[in-house]
Chain A
Amino acid sequence: MQLTGAEIVWECLIREGVDLVFGYPGGAILPTYDTLSSYPQIHHVLTRHEQGATHMADGYARATGKVGVAMATSGPGATNLVTGLATAMLDSSPMVCITGQVPTSVIGHNAFQEADITGVTLPITKHNYLVTSVEELAFCIREAFYIARSGRPGPVLIDLPKDVQIATTEFHYPTDEIRLPGYRPVPEAPEDKIERARALIRSAERPVILAGRGVLLSGAMDELRTFAESTETPVGLTLLGKGCFPEDHPLCLGMMGMHGAGEANHAVQEADLLLAFGMRFDDRVTGNLATYAPKARKVHIDIDPSEIDKNVEVEVGIAGDLKATLQEMMQGLEPIEHSDWIKRIARWRDESEDRELLNQVLQSPELKAAEVVHDLWTLTGGKAITVTDVGQHQMWVAQYYAHSPEHALITSGGMGTMGFGLPGGIGAAMGRPDDEIWVVAGDGGFQMTLAELATAVQEKVKVNIALVNNGYLGMVRQWQELFYEKRYNATPMVSPDFCALAAAYGIPAVRVTERDQIEDAVRQAQAHLDGPFLIEFVVEQHDVVFPMVPAGSDLHDMIRRPRENSPSEKEIQP
């Protein structure tokens, strides 16, 4: 069958199981768009900015586990993908982006709308392709999907010159098994190292599991739980690991790191064994590396060998698939108990409870973002997919929404990309239309990509938006308050009337200023089934996320929420 390059693109996408493409057309990708109508199997979502397309593809990928696809034209269309690619790269999200490119004959001539996008994206993609002949197109696309989804997933970009889209060739879809000489996506965990890990586990008295996104990507949630229970080992979570272990489980320590739970950070610092499962010792998780978990021996299991010994040197580093490795490790590992250790952790937990905002009698009548997230959690029964933007509200979602394997957190962790929330949530909602989706965004980040409201309306995407309006770039304001003597430079923020703005898009919206209005607003949103719904939560402006480990400080050196107002201490007073 003779097909054009443009037709081959769609034929290949369909064979890769793609039915949804997020994109934005332009001259250099027009031949491909021109043939779109011949492929009714593919639904194309016109976004309002190419960055939105990448975050939608990313959110879709995180919500479904499938590869998300974004498409853009050359030059400015392609450069608009950069933030989304970097975001997906740092969080290991499988994505394929296809960009138009100027014709091969003028590449390198600074032709109209030419950008060297394979050069630009080289360090922020898992791999990329410049397709120079129509004959290799189908091979490139199949390889791109294979690379994006195998091993440690990541984004792949295919740059497609206009003449290659127009040229024709005999199309046959290559079905041979892909084997690339330099790519071994799933290393085999060596048995001798697994045995050494078992020995450390048997002799440990104060073990802690550090569970990351690798648990979710490997599908090792059941294995993690069985392992934790049979070895009575508490589990600390990374931000991206939220959901891989049920947070109502007695062994769950909650999130670790800069804004982690006190008990999680203390447990790590006092542990004599760290079991790092599918995480990468990011600086937001470890704090000062020189004083990190000083008493602990360390076992690290990750599918990407380059993560082993990268930030933290470990006694046993195992490169392999987590699910398979845990299954093997548990064979020959008899049940273990650590009741003294668990009791010690319980005392740290009591302290956290004592300092907990929600347990305090609050002086100020203003609505707290923590209350908003907590109530959202109860009102959704913990069964919503939460997609956040970046900032204080993101950390409050991490702290106050308990996630589970079916409803894991979707957030830009590694890159911390403001503007991810709304488009990420639209992508997630389109991937899982039967689930309840809540985007939680700040007034700052929301305004970075709010143009995608129109996309949500055009596509009738049922996505609930909880806009946490504190009138500030709150997280930066918090740093200024704590570390820059309250010089609030460039963080107070004037915003539009968000409800009127929503109305301009035809989106119903309500404003909430008091806690007892939350339930009604959330119920209204849940009842609105055909399209987006926005709730603006006007919250206290000068609230601070506690605990906080200042950047570069020791992990146990946390700034805690003051406890003056806690009921227990109140009782003592006359």
Chain B
Amino acid sequence: MTTRSTITALVENRPGVLNRVVSIFRRPGLNLDSLTVGRTDRSEISRMTMVLEGTKADAQHVMRELNRLIHVITVEEMNGTPYVTRDLALIKVGATVENKSEILQMCGHYRARIVDAAAASILIEVVGEEPEIEGLVGLLEPFGIIEMVRAGVVAMARAEHVLDTHCESSSWAEQRRSLSKAS
């Protein structure tokens, strides 16, 4: 039975890491439905959120293999603990004088913002959980979506639960970092 699993990971911020991570999904032919990577409060560590469409066994396989990668510091599947997810979409829809106010009203329900308005289109930014974004997209479709982009899902556990960095900084890691910066 396929489900969606949300996996978060802390990884070293260096060349090639993304390739190594993505290869874990590619090898058994799994589909990464969403993938985001960005910096954390520590410049040497990036945080990834991966949404996998697959079976429970697929998710377990991915977790095991990700843990083996030297550059992956921590991996966690977001289940058990309550967590927050957010996606962001920019949606450009065709707009006429007649339907503009209707579109604006819908945006209001979804706390979406108009970030650009032109003669024949408006550009809408919406932030929320995936179902919310999909809800708004569904409502906007009849007006004609000209183009759309999504940032991908980011996730974080609620309350005290944090992704453990495990890594007190070592002199070895410090030296390595200063060298790769120099190059």
CB neighbors of A among B27-55 (8 A): 27, 45
Map CB proximity to B onto A164-199 as digits: 1 under 8 Å, 0 otherwise.
000000000010111111111000000000000000
Expressed in whole angstroms, the Cα–Cα distance for A130 and B19 within the complex equals 14
Q: Is B73 an interface residue (CB 8 A)?
A: yes
Chain A proximity of B169: nearest CB distance (Å)? 8
Residues of B within 8 A of A143 (CB): 176
In this complex, what residue of B is CB-closest to A132? B183
Q: Are A135 and B182 in contact (CB under 8 A)?
A: yes
Residues of A within 8 A of B161 (CB): none
Partner of A304, one of B12, B68, B69: B68
Q: Is A453 an interface residue (CB 8 A)?
A: no
Q: Are A135 and B179 in contact (CB under 8 A)?
A: yes
CB neighbors of A among B53-79 (8 A): 60-61, 64-65, 67-74
Map CB proximity to A onto B153-170 as digits: 1 under 8 Å, 0 otherwise.
000000000000111001
Q: Is B99 an interface residue (CB 8 A)?
A: no
Of listed A136, A177, A182, A306, residue having the most chain B CB within 10 A? A182
CB neighbors of B among A99-131 (8 A): 118-119, 122-123, 126-127, 130
Partner of B70, one of A119, A133, A179, A182: A182
Q: Is B171 an interface residue (CB 8 A)?
A: yes
Q: Is B23 an interface residue (CB 8 A)?
A: yes
Residues of A within 8 A of B180 (CB): 133, 136
In this complex, what residue of B is CB-closest to A307? B64
Q: Known contacts A133-B182, A304-B68; decide if A122 and B73 are in contact (CB<8 Å).
A: no
Q: Is A343 an interface residue (CB 8 A)?
A: no
Q: Known contacts A122-B20, A147-B70, A305-B67; decide if A182 and B11 are in contact (CB<8 Å).
A: yes
Q: Is B16 an interface residue (CB 8 A)?
A: yes
Expressed in whole angstroms, the Cα–Cα distance for A136 and B182 within the complex equals 10
Expressed in whole angstroms, the Cα–Cα distance for A177 and B16 within the complex equals 24
Expressed in whole angstroms, the Cα–Cα distance for A305 and B64 within the complex equals 8
Q: Is B81 an interface residue (CB 8 A)?
A: no
Chain B proximity of A283: nearest CB distance (Å)? 16
Q: Is A310 an interface residue (CB 8 A)?
A: yes
Map CB proximity to B onto A71-91 as digits: 1 under 8 Å, 0 otherwise.
000000000000000000000
Q: Known contacts A123-B27, A130-B16; decide if A181 and B183 are in contact (CB<8 Å).
A: no
Q: Known contacts A133-B183, A176-B172, A177-B170; decide if A306 and B65 are in contact (CB<8 Å).
A: yes
Q: Is A488 an interface residue (CB 8 A)?
A: no
Q: Are A306 and B12 in contact (CB under 8 A)?
A: no
Expressed in whole angstroms, the Cα–Cα distance for A536 and B94 within the complex equals 81
Q: Is B175 an interface residue (CB 8 A)?
A: yes
Q: Are A306 and B68 in contact (CB under 8 A)?
A: yes
Q: Are B179 and A181 in contact (CB under 8 A)?
A: no
Chain B proximity of A244: nearest CB distance (Å)? 24
Partner of A177, one of B12, B167, B172, B176: B172
Q: Known contacts A179-B170, A182-B167, A306-B67; decide if A135 and B11 are in contact (CB<8 Å).
A: no
CB neighbors of B among A226-257 (8 A): none
Residues of A within 8 A of B84 (CB): none
Residues of B within 8 A of A180 (CB): 70, 172-173
Q: Are B179 and A133 in contact (CB under 8 A)?
A: yes
Map CB proximity to B onto A132-146 as digits: 1 under 8 Å, 0 otherwise.
110110010001000
Residues of A within 8 A of B67 (CB): 305-306
Q: Are A127 and B173 in contact (CB under 8 A)?
A: no
Partner of A136, one of B19, B71, B179: B179
Residues of A within 8 A of B15 (CB): 130
Q: Are B183 and A139 in contact (CB under 8 A)?
A: no
Expressed in whole angstroms, the Cα–Cα distance for A304 and B61 within the complex equals 14
Residues of A within 8 A of B19 (CB): 119, 122
Chain A proximity of B46: nearest CB distance (Å)? 12
Residues of A within 8 A of B172 (CB): 174, 176-180
Q: Known contacts A132-B183, A306-B64; decide if A181 and B166 are in contact (CB<8 Å).
A: yes
Residues of B within 8 A of A132 (CB): 183
Expressed in whole angstroms, the Cα–Cα distance for A118 and B180 within the complex equals 18
In this complex, what residue of A is CB-closest to B24? A123
In this complex, what residue of A is CB-closest to B174? A176
Expressed in whole angstroms, the Cα–Cα distance for A309 and B67 within the complex equals 14
Q: Are A136 and B176 in contact (CB under 8 A)?
A: yes
In this complex, what residue of B is CB-closest to A131? B183
Chain B proximity of A85: nearest CB distance (Å)? 15
Contacts A/B (CB < 8 Å), 22 sampled: A123-B23, A127-B70, A133-B179, A133-B183, A135-B183, A136-B176, A139-B176, A177-B172, A178-B170, A178-B172, A179-B173, A180-B70, A180-B173, A181-B45, A181-B165, A181-B166, A182-B74, A183-B70, A304-B68, A305-B67, A306-B64, A310-B61
A contact set with B: CB distance below 8 Å: 118-119, 122-123, 126-127, 130, 132-133, 135-136, 139, 143, 147, 174, 176-184, 304-306, 309-310
| 6 residue pairs, one from A and one from B, having the closest CB atoms | A181-B167, A133-B183, A179-B170, A306-B64, A182-B73, A136-B179
B contact set with A: CB distance below 8 Å: 11-12, 15-16, 19-20, 23, 27, 45, 60-61, 64-65, 67-74, 165-167, 170-173, 175-176, 179-180, 182-183
Q: A119-B19, A182-B11 are in contact. List 20 more A-B contacts (CB 8 A).
A: A123-B23, A123-B27, A130-B15, A130-B16, A136-B179, A139-B179, A174-B172, A178-B170, A178-B172, A181-B73, A181-B165, A182-B12, A182-B70, A182-B166, A182-B167, A183-B70, A184-B166, A304-B68, A306-B64, A306-B65
